[in-house]
Structure formats: C-alpha cells, structure tokens
C-alpha cells in the first residue's frame, strides 16, 4: 500500500466521522499545524507499559476519535526509539503510527534527536 493510499484512507475516515470529533483535539491539531511550517517535522513521546517511546520524522499529524495519527512525508519513514529503565532498548522504522491520545506525553515540533 502506497503512502498516497494511506493518506486517502485516513482522510476518508477523518471526514466521515464528524459526530466523533473531539473539539479539544481539533483545536490542538489546528494549533500544531499553525505553529509549524510544512518543512518542520513532528515528534511524539508516549508511554506504553513500562516503556517510553519517541517517534520522530512526522510530517502530518491529525486526530481521529481518541487517537493521534502520525505520517511521514511521502516516500519517507518514521523513526521510533523505545526506552526502558532509562536505557535505549529498541529502534524501529515505520510508515505510520496510531497512538492513543491518553498515552501521549509530548508533541514536539522540529525535534532534534541527540544520541549520547
């Protein structure tokens, strides 16, 4: 499935469910899009059990129901690091990620990953 296909699917889901939209999340989405330029990337830090995960290199962020959907630029990938006990335990590359809003710790604009 191409990135264009994914974007089309997410756009249809987003447009087709107006009764399920949360005005707070819509406001957050609008604020994030206003604060960043198209060239700036988005990063999200979130919790998953005992781990902290950070995904970067996002280009498009939107909210569906109570989920954040982060997509990279067409032809690009997202990069995720998983931390447990304060240590890096895994790295992953992905085409898209859907994160429960309740797990999000931070949404970052133009994050710069610095490895120790």
pLDDT digits 0-9 by tens, 27-78: 777 777 777 776 789 999 999 888 999 999 999 888 888 899 999 999 999 9
Give the H/E segment covering residue 25.
Answer: helix 23-35
The whole-model pTM stands at: 0.76
Q: Is the dihedral of CA 59, 106, 10, 2 positive or negative?
A: positive
Residues 6+ apart with CB under 8 A from 4: 74
Q: Where are the domains of the chain?
A: 3-109
Q: How far is CA 95 from CA 7, 15, 58, 72, 86, in A?
A: 11, 22, 10, 7, 26
What pairing do the DSSP bridges indicate for beta strands 42-48 and 78-84?
Answer: unpaired
Band of pLDDT at residue 6, cut at 50, 70 and 90: low
* Confidence (pLDDT) at 17: 56
């Amino acid at each position: 499935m191409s990135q264009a296909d994914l974007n089309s699917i997410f756009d249809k889901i987003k447009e087709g469910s107006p009764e399920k939209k949360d005005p707070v999340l819509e406001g957050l989405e609008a604020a994030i899009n206003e604060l960043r330029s198209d060239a700036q990337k988005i990063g999200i830090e979130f919790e998953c059990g005992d781990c902290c995960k950070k995904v970067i290199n996002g280009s498009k962020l939107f909210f569906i129901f109570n989920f954040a959907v982060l997509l990279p630029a067409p032809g690009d990938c997202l990069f995720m690091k998983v931390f447990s006990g304060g240590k890096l335990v895994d790295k992953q590359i992905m085409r898209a990620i859907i994160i429960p809003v309740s797990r999000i710790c931070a949404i970052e604009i133009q994050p710069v990953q610095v490895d120790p």
